[in-house]
Amino acid sequence: MVAEQLNIYDDFAEFIAGLSPEKILSYHAPDKIQKRVEYLVSRKKEGVIALAELQELEKYFMFEHIVRLAKARALKLLAQSSSS
């Protein structure tokens, strides 16, 4: 089941990377979100994270995974277009 979910994320990452590879590569999470993730990670490391916070952190990790997939595909698309 997890492999099926990853394929959905791969397909979505491919789609958004194709929209504008340059924009995908320049994307960074806003500072507010980065600080929130750092806070949640530190709470998890300390062993004091609440269930709701852990679920929130998992959502951020999944989003980060999709963005990384999209950036990898964007790089591939740019490399293909520059070599043709």
pLDDT in tens, 30-82: 999 999 999 999 999 999 999 999 999 999 999 999 999 999 999 999 999 88
Q: What is the pLDDT of residue 13?
A: 84
Averaged pLDDT for residues 4-16 = 75
The model's pTM is 0.79
| Dist CA 13 CA 3 (whole Å) | 15
> Is the pLDDT higher at 7 or at 6?
7
The stretches of 1-84 forming alpha helices (DSSP H) are 2-19, 21-26, 31-46, 51-82
